Amino acid sequence: MRILLVEDDPKLADLILEGLNEDGFVTAHSASARQGESMALLQPYDVMIVDVMLPEGKNAGFDLARTLREQKNTTPILFLTARGDMDSRLMGFEGGGDDYLTKPFDFRELRARLHALIRRSSGQAGNVIELPLGYRLHLSKHELSKAEEVVSVTPREYTLLECLALHPDRAYTRNELIERVWPEESDVDLKTVDVFVSTVRRKLGEDIIETVRGVGYRLGKR
């Protein structure tokens, strides 16, 4: 998954890029609306994160989104801004934005919003990810299927599979999986992850999830 960040604050940009890269995203960065427009039109991205206030002006991010939409670019856009008033939000959505996050923010919320945008955009043009053992993950419907039949999984099992499927080549540590699958719970330990993975393997097949020795887990080979 490729993400373009348009942010002129170097410290904030570095923090966001570091988090995205750790999550397995392929990232690109621009510090201005003008350069961001050129990059967005040069190659496709799955999501754009755009600061509203850029060197070109206090509404440069909104103007960038509007320009891209006029040029038929449909990449989902998430705005970042310190302006949380309703007028600013409406201006962002009316200009072609898809989501809006006010500063300061928790990176976990940014991550969740990005995945939601990816699911939504995937639903427009084929939202199915092929998994090992003939399973298929339907992102927009939050369903797992096999041989055209829906396979019953719990919401947490689905979340685990989606996390691994969105970045199939990445091995996640147990702590990273705790953060993504149990974000609101503070008493989950590393052993819980191992037991949970074993449960999913018993239900779906041993090869659905691969153990990466010394690291953690990743999606099994298709």
CATH number of the domain that residue 25 is part of = 3.40.50.2300
Distance CA 140, CA 135 (A): 16
Average pLDDT over residues 165-187: 86
Question: The tokens of 87 are what?
Answer: 């007028």
Which residues make Cβ contacts (< 8 Å) with residue 134, sequence separation at least 6? 146, 147
Domain end among 124, 140, 172: 124
Q: Is the pLDDT of residue 124 over 60?
A: no
Confidence at residue 136, expressed as pLDDT on a 0 to 100 scale: 92
Confidence at residue 123, expressed as pLDDT on a 0 to 100 scale: 52
pTM above 0.75, yes or no: no
Q: Is the pLDDT of residue 126 over 60?
A: no
Q: Are residues 56 and 99 in the same domain?
A: yes
- Across all residues in the chain, what is the average pLDDT? 88
Domain end among 84, 108, 124: 124
Average pLDDT over residues 99-106: 89
Residue pair 65/92 in contact by the 8 Å Cβ criterion: yes
Q: Is the pLDDT of residue 163 over 90?
A: no
Q: Does the N-terminal peptide bond of residue 55 adopt cis geometry, omega within 30 degrees of 0?
A: no
Average pLDDT over residues 98-123: 84
pLDDT tens digits, one per residue of 21-70: 888 888 899 999 999 999 998 888 889 999 999 999 989 999 999 999 99
| CATH at residue 134 | 1.10.10.10
Confidence at residue 125, expressed as pLDDT on a 0 to 100 scale: 42
> Count of domains in the chain?
2
Q: Are residues 33 and 119 in the same domain?
A: yes
Question: The tokens of 220 are what?
Answer: 């099994």
CA distances from 1 to 124, 144, 200 (A): 16, 21, 25
Residue with the two structure tokens 């976990």: 108
Domain end among 98, 124, 150: 124
Confidence at residue 122, expressed as pLDDT on a 0 to 100 scale: 61
Confidence at residue 127, expressed as pLDDT on a 0 to 100 scale: 65
Q: Domain residues for 179?
A: 128-219
Q: Are residues 97 and 168 in the same domain?
A: no
Residue with the two structure tokens 């996640």: 172
